[in-house]
Chain A
C-alpha cells in the first residue's frame, strides 16, 4: 500500500522485534510486569503495523480471516480446557495445583498455559477488529 521506503524499511526492521518483545511479555509475566492481555495487544500491534504499511491483503496472507477466527476460539478453549483437565485430575475447576500434584510446578504450568490462551484470544480479536474496521473501508473504497 504505502510506497514510502522509510515506512517499508522501518516496518520490516521492527516487525520481528515487536513480536519478540510480545513473547517476552507473554511468558515472563510470572516474574515481571506483563501477561496475556498486554502481550496479545503487543503482538497484534506488530501485525497491524505490517498491514498498515504493506496493505490489508498482505496482512491477510499471513493470517487469513478463517485462521484468525479459529485462533479466537482456540484461545478461550485452551483456557477452559485447563480447568477441565484440572477437574479430571481430581481437583477443582482451574485448580492448577492438581495439574501436576505439586504447588510449585502445577501453578507455573497452569498460569503459563492459561496466559497463552488469553494472549491468543486477545491477539486474534485485536487483529479481527482492525481488519473489520479497516477492511470494510477498503472494500467500500474499491466499489
Chain B
C-alpha cells in the first residue's frame, strides 16, 4: 500500500514536470518526444492501478503510434514554435478558475477503490461474476469490450475507419482515379527527366490545378 502510494506520487510528479516542460519549450520536436514520455508515464500509472489493458493501449497508441504520426506530420511545419509576446490575463484567469472548479469537483468523487461507489454497484458485479464462470473468458475487460458492450466497440471501430478515410481523402489525393492520374503523370515526368526538366514542372502545375 505504502509502496504503491510512493510510486503514484513519484509518477504524478513526473507527469506534472513533463507537462510544464512541454509548455515551456519552444522546440516542437522536443514537445513531441516529451508527449510520448507523458503517455508512457501515464501507462505506468495505469499499471500501478492494475489496469493493464488500458496501460497497454496507452503505451502502444499514445507513446508509440501517435509519436510517429506527429513526427511524420512535423515535416510540414517549422521546427520551432513562434514566440508569443502577448499575455492574455483573461484566458489565464478562466483556465485557473476552471481548474479550481475541477479540483473542487474531485473532492466529491468517491475515493479510489471504494466498493460502495455507484460505479461498482451498477452492472460491474454481474460482469465480474459472469465473465469467468458463465462465458468462460477470464479477461473481463475483453468480455465487456467485445461482448457486453459490442455495440460500442462496433461504433469505435467505425470511428477509427472514418478517421482513416477522412485523412486519406484530405491528404492522399482522395479518390482512386485521381491517384492513378497523379501517379501516371509522375511516372511520365520521371521517365522524361533525362531529356529536360520541362515535363516535370508541367506535371506539377497540372497536379496543383487538379
A residues whose Cβ falls under 8 Å from a Cβ of B: 25, 29-38, 41-42, 44-45, 48, 65-66, 69, 72-73, 75-76, 79-80, 83, 93-94, 96, 103-104, 107-108, 110-111, 114-115, 117-118, 121-122, 124-126, 128-137, 139, 142-143
CA distance A35 to B145 in the complex (A): 9
- Determine whether B181 belongs to the interface, using a CB cutoff of 8 Å to chain A: no
Q: Indicate if the CB atoms of A94 and B151 lie closer than 8 Å.
A: yes
B53 touches A137 (CB 8 A): no
- Are B145 and A125 in contact (CB-based, < 8 A)? no
Q: Which of B6-14, B20-28, B85-93, B129-137 contacts A (4 or more CB under 8 A)?
A: B129-137
Interface string of B106-133 (1 = CB under 8 A from A): 0000000000000000000000000000
Give Cα A33–Cα B59 distance, bound, in whole angstroms: 13
Chain B positions within 8 Å of A, measured between CB atoms, are 52-53, 55-57, 60-61, 64-65, 68-69, 72-73, 75-76, 134-139, 141-143, 145-147, 150-151, 153-154, 156-158, 160-161, 163-165, 167-168, 170-172, 176, 179, 186, 200, 204
Please, which residues of chain A bring their CB within 8 A of the CB of B76? Answer: 137
CA distance A69 to B64 in the complex (A): 22
Q: Is the CB of A45 within 8 A of B143?
A: no
Cβ-defined contact, B172 with A131, below 8 A: yes
Contact A33 B68 (CB under 8 A): no
Distance between Cα atoms of A20 and B132 in the complex (Å): 27
CA of A66 to CA of B180 in the docked complex: distance in angstroms?
Answer: 11
State the CA gap A143–B185 with chains docked (Å): 12
CB distance from B8 to the nearest CB of A (A): 20
Tell me if A121 and B161 are in contact (CB < 8 A). Answer: yes
B136 touches A107 (CB 8 A): yes
Are A111's CB and B165's CB within 8 A? no
Once the chains are docked, how many angstroms separate the CA of A133 from the CA of B141? 33
Determine whether the beta carbon of B154 is less than 8 Å from that of A79.
yes
Q: How far is the CA of A25 from the CA of B52 in the complex (A)?
A: 13
In the complex, the chain A residue whose C-beta lies closest to that of B135 is A107
Contacts of B176 in A (CB 8 A): 66
Query: Is B137 touching A44 in the complex (CB atoms < 8 A)?
Result: no
